[in-house]
Amino acid sequence: MLEIRDLYKRYGKFTALDGLNLEIGKGELFGFVGPNGAGKTTTMRIMSGLLRADSGSILIDGIDAVAQPMKIKEKIGYMPDFFGVYDNLKAMEYMEFYASIYGIEGLEARELCRDLMKLVNLEDKEDAYVDGLSRGMKQRLCLARSLVHNPELLILDEPASGLDPRARFEMKEILKNLSSMGKTIIISSHILPELAEMCSSIGIIEHGRMVIKGTVDDIMSRMSASNPLIIRFASGKQEAVQRLKENPRVQNIAIQEDSVAIGFSGGQEEEAELLGSLVSQGIGICHFGREEGNLESLFMQITKEDGNEG
């Protein structure tokens, strides 16, 4: 559905996108994660034709986004990170205005807009003035607006930013719903856990490059290989610590009350071997395994180099 190859974008001397590559399949709900200033908005603006890249290519559904911007615009619905609404315009008129841009008018437009507003739970706000709506409502209205021409690809730049937990939840449900309707969706955010639970795959961008990409489980297991090995003992803790210290694969040991956490370089086979040897020495082990990765620490780990930038 979407294919980005070697995308470069410079603002003066500053390199915002540094050879970004990205591929997204049809029907995916893709989470585009990265810290502030990583280049998410820049990428999305290039995708939707608001910004020109210095080099690189973007194919959407096999169509070159640079060569045929009009065709691309029919295929995408874009929701910017910041946007405004018009004064003196009612929600329904707002929707109908954008529908009319795509040639949808009259009764047909009215029905379509009504359906879309229902989809984003705004069916009771038809006659409310848009500038009087709450931020969450505006964001949902803007989402509905981006759907008027039934685009295949939705590009949503931080659709949940500035929303309270309940509104975030609602937004998530709407997006899941849209995804189940077969839309391909890209959502950007700098909060990984928020995306992880609804996205089919995620990519982490950092300094204008894709650092890691895959399904959430995939990324978690890849990262957890470097997590400490936790061993909890029922008995024989002292002896076990002695043994572990002799093991060349053990890099460090942190001793807690009834367990130890060790930095262990080795794959699953070496782990099994270690467990076997400890058990055969008569040490009572009631828990043995790598520490579960948590998304937040994963994100911090990947993007740690520039924690204090900006």
Partner 1 sequence: MKVRINPVYKKELKISVRSIRLSLVIFAYNALLAMIGLLAFYFNFDANGYRNISYSSVLVVYTMIAILEFALILFVVPAFTANAIAGERERQTLEILLTTTLKPEQIIIGKLMSSISTIILLVFSSFPVMAIVFAVGGVRFVDLLQFMVFACITSVFIGSIGVLFSTFFKKTVPATVFTYGAVVILTLGTLATLLIIYLLVVQSYENNYYNSGAVGNYNPPGLGNLTLLLLVNPAMTLLSMITKQYGSMDIFKEVLDSFGGIHESIVNNWYYISVAVQLVLSGIFLKLAAWKLRTK
Ligand X SMILES: Nc1ncnc2c1ncn2[C@@H]1O[C@H](COP(=O)(O)OP(=O)(O)OP(=O)(O)O)[C@@H](O)[C@H]1O
Residue 136 CA to residue 151 CA, distance in Å, equals 22
Is residue 37 a contact point for ligand X (CB under 6 A)? Answer: yes
Residue 117 CA to residue 9 CA, distance in Å, equals 36
Is residue 132 a contact point for partner 1 (CB under 8 A)? Answer: no
What residues have CB less than 8 Å from 82, skipping those under 6 apart?
none
**Window 147-186: residues binding partner 1 (CB under 8 A):** 149
Give the interface with Mg ion as residue ranges (CB under 5 A). 40-41, 81
Write the burial class of residue 29 (CB in 10 Å: 0-12 exposed, 13-18 middle, 19+ buried).
buried
Residue 256 CA to residue 159 CA, distance in Å, equals 43
Distance (Å) of CA 6 to CA 12, 19, 157: 19, 4, 21
- What is the dihedral sign for C-alpha 171, 172, 175, 180? negative
Q: Which of 135, 132, 134 is nearest to 81 (CA)?
A: 135
Q: State the minimum distance, in angstroms, from the CB of residue 97 to partner 1.
A: 4
Q: Near ligand X by CB under 6 A, which window of 36-44, 213-221, 273-281, 290-298?
A: 36-44
Interface with partner 1 (CB under 8 A), residue total 30
According to DSSP, the β-strands at 29-33 and 14-24 are: unpaired
Is residue 36 a contact point for ligand X (CB under 6 A)? Answer: yes
Q: State the minimum distance, in angstroms, from the CB of residue 13 to ligand X.
A: 10
Q: State the minimum distance, in angstroms, from the CB of residue 146 to ligand X.
A: 18
Give 23 or 81: the residue with its C-beta nearer to Mg ion: 81
Tokens (6 digits) for 286: 């009631």
Query: Which of 1, 40, 53, 298 touches ligand X by CB under 6 A?
Result: 40
Q: State the minimum distance, in angstroms, from the CB of residue 216 to ligand X.
A: 20
Count of all residues that appear for the chain in the document = 310
For residues 31 and 44, the answer to whether their CB atoms sit within 8 Å is no
Q: State the minimum distance, in angstroms, from the CB of residue 255 to partner 1.
A: 56
Q: What residues are paired with 64 via a beta bridge?
A: 59
Give 55 or 180: the residue with its C-beta nearer to ligand X: 55
Give 93 or 126: the residue with its C-beta nearer to partner 1: 93
Tokens (6 digits) for 201: 């795959």
Tokens (6 digits) for 146: 């981006």
Interface pattern 45-84 for ligand X (x via CB under 6 A)? ------------------------------------x---
Q: State the minimum distance, in angstroms, from the CB of residue 127 to partner 1.
A: 13
Residue 183 CA to residue 166 CA, distance in Å, equals 24
Q: Near partner 1 by CB under 8 A, which window of 11-19, 49-57, 189-197, 265-273?
A: 49-57
Q: Which residues bind ligand X (CB under 6 A)?
A: 11, 14, 16, 34, 36-42, 81, 190
Q: Which residues bind partner 1 (CB under 8 A)?
A: 48-52, 70, 73-74, 76, 78, 80, 82-89, 93, 97-98, 100-103, 105, 142, 145, 149
